[in-house]
Amino acid sequence: MDRAIWAIFYDLPEEGREAYFEWFHGVHIPEKLARPGYLWAAHYEVVHPGKAFEKVLGRLGREDDPALASGAGFIALFGGETTRTFFDPGPSQLKANQSEETREMVSRRVNPLGLIYCEEWRAEGPEAGEREGADILSPAIQMGRYDAQGNDEDLQTWYAQERMKGVERTKGCVGARKLLASSGSPRHSVLYEYVSLEAREENYVSLEETEWTHRVHGYLLHPPGSPLVGSRIWPPIKN
């Protein structure tokens, strides 16, 4: 079972995108999945978060440290057995041994940021049975990363007692994973999966309107590029 995620957030210039996608989906992902411990991969294009979610974004605190910022156009995700998968070899070691083609293609990424996460726990939503496969993430995701400013116990208690229970009953939701950074900052992250962008837009806001949720949102600090909503571009979404 996968218990770790390597997430890469980045932008891409319009020019040359198709060539990059052909390489990333047809060459790079297969190379990664051939390595021991790599279990799945997914690639998302970031989309508008939806009108309902704009109200939530407006009340989130923001980090202004540019070192924590990321591109906000694409999210590449790799699932691993544990975080050891992504440290043996580690990202710097992989970079040192890149082929000329890989080095050139990776250089096209704008403001890339890679973080390695350990999965703390997960919750299954009402649509968990709609998964295309055990190792395929859903067509739509939402992913945030943030610091709790010393309120880690309250944040984790909220997730355990309220937030994930809400996920378990939210229509259109496949599930969610609570993540903790093994490499990179900020410390906390969560990955939500939905059957579609439309289902997320229609139902996500039902998770937001409690007093405890408003208190949590009052102390969380999100860096630029968080949270993001993504539509899967690989593997292609089946009609």
User: Within 10 A of 171 (CB to CB), how many other CB atoms are there?
Assistant: 13
- Structure tokens that stand for 196 in this block: 């579609």
* Closest by CA position to 193, among listed 207, 204, 180: 204
Which domains does the chain show, CATH number per domain? 4-234 (3.30.70.100)
pLDDT at 183: 86
pLDDT at 103: 97
pLDDT at 206: 64
Helix or strand run (H / E) with residue 105: helix 100-106
pLDDT at 196: 96
Q: Are the C-beta atoms of 137 and 40 separated by less than 8 Å?
A: yes
Question: Considering the entire predicted model, what is its pTM?
Answer: 0.95
Q: pLDDT tens digits, the chain, 239 residues: what are they? A: 899 999 999 999 999 999 999 999 999 999 999 999 999 999 999 999 888 788 778 778 888 777 778 889 999 999 999 999 999 999 999 999 999 999 999 999 999 999 999 999 999 999 999 999 889 999 999 999 999 999 999 999 999 999 999 999 999 999 999 999 998 889 999 999 999 999 999 887 666 678 998 899 899 999 988 999 999 999 998 87
User: Within 10 A of 96 (CB to CB), how many other CB atoms are there?
Assistant: 9
